[in-house]
Structure 1
């Protein structure tokens, strides 16, 4: 029997021994973990754009937040910041109110908490009713920080929003209806 014949005859046995040796060389006591691909395919969900009603709510909440800090925005970019959330006549009213407060050395403080009651959307127009809590917000002296006017726990408000050509909702009119909801 030639060497080649002996190797050929012993080939299956040699492969078995080599396979076991290779398999064992992968084992160690180092406890190194290797992440294996998951057996189930991953599904990435694509978020749907918000409905008009949800977009109106989000815009309104941002609008109220902007009112809370409108007088602290830089003079040079105030109009630009606010115009992302409101249009005239509301934009002009807010800018005028900021100037009135500053001329009297007053500023706003606190945060208004929104409690949206209803949203009605009709095409590119929306009406939103809110029962907001402004009891921890109000007007104070800019220098002394003395609180002059404070909001109410339950204040009824109504906001009119319009959808622009860019598909963004902006407040066009904001009306305080009175206390109690």
Structure 2
């Protein structure tokens, strides 16, 4: 058999692996030799680091929206701390001011917003999420009478900027309603 340089290297590599397997197979105190799985039947590759981060960002954003759905009903004494788990300033201060303003005007939120994350973009300074929210089942109401003041829309385009804290958690630093339609 006449092998090229590449073929000879491959043959030596295979021979080396075979010798190593034979040597190790004698080290089991009589244990049965088990065939190793082939590379073609291996488990699916692990997701890339950026895909894992993008999922973490999308999850953090989804938690942020869920927290906003009930932000005004959180106990006043723990509201800031609870909101700080999903947002940072300037968003945190904006939400706290808005809740105080709503309380003074006897306005409360109702319902839940459904998140449809369209994209997550990682940047040097954080991440950007583009969402097409369905807020038809949510809105504001008079907290005294229970009368609904307004409700959301089927498709509301939202852009959120997130930063990663020193604890490794992503939090929203700014959320902007772009407009109706996506």
| TM-score, normalisation: structure 2 | 0.71
Q: Name segments (4+ residues, structure 1) moved above 4 Å.
A: none
Residue 95 of structure 1 pairs with residue 100 of structure 2: no
Aligned equivalents of 2:125, 2:75: Cα separation in 1: 31
Alignment of 1:158-169 (within 5 A): 158-169=159-170
**Bigger Cα Rg:** 1
1:123 offset after TM fit, Å?
A: 3.9
Residue 64 of structure 1 pairs with residue 65 of structure 2: yes
Residue 151 (structure 1) aligns with: 152
Aligned equivalents of 1:100, 1:136: Cα separation in 2: 22
Aligned equivalents of 1:124, 1:58: Cα separation in 2: 18
Residue 121 (structure 2) aligns with: 120
Aligned equivalents of 1:81, 1:174: Cα separation in 2: 18
Structure 2, unpaired ranges of 5+ = 1-46
1:51 offset after TM fit, Å?
A: 1.1
Residue 136 of structure 1 pairs with residue 132 of structure 2: no
Aligned equivalents of 1:149, 1:96: Cα separation in 2: 20
Residue 174 (structure 1) aligns with: 175
Q: State the Cα deviation string for residues 21-49 of structure 1 (Å, max 9, x = none).
A: xxxxxxxxxxxxxxxxxxxxxxxxxxx99
Provide the secondary structure at the position in 2 that maps to 1:76: helix
1:70 offset after TM fit, Å?
A: 0.3
Residue 79 (structure 2) aligns with: 78
Structure 1, unpaired ranges of 5+ = 1-47
Residue 110 (structure 1) aligns with: 111
Aligned equivalents of 1:163, 1:134: Cα separation in 2: 27
Q: State the Cα deviation string for residues 36-80 of structure 1 (Å, max 9, x = none).
A: xxxxxxxxxxxx998110110110000000110000000000000
Provide the secondary structure at the position in 2 that maps to 1:51: helix
Alignment of 1:19-30 (within 5 A): none
Aligned equivalents of 1:151, 1:174: Cα separation in 2: 16
Q: State the Cα deviation string for residues 92-137 of structure 1 (Å, max 9, x = none).
A: 0000010011000010000000000000012450000000000110
Provide the secondary structure at the position in 1 that maps to 2:77: coil
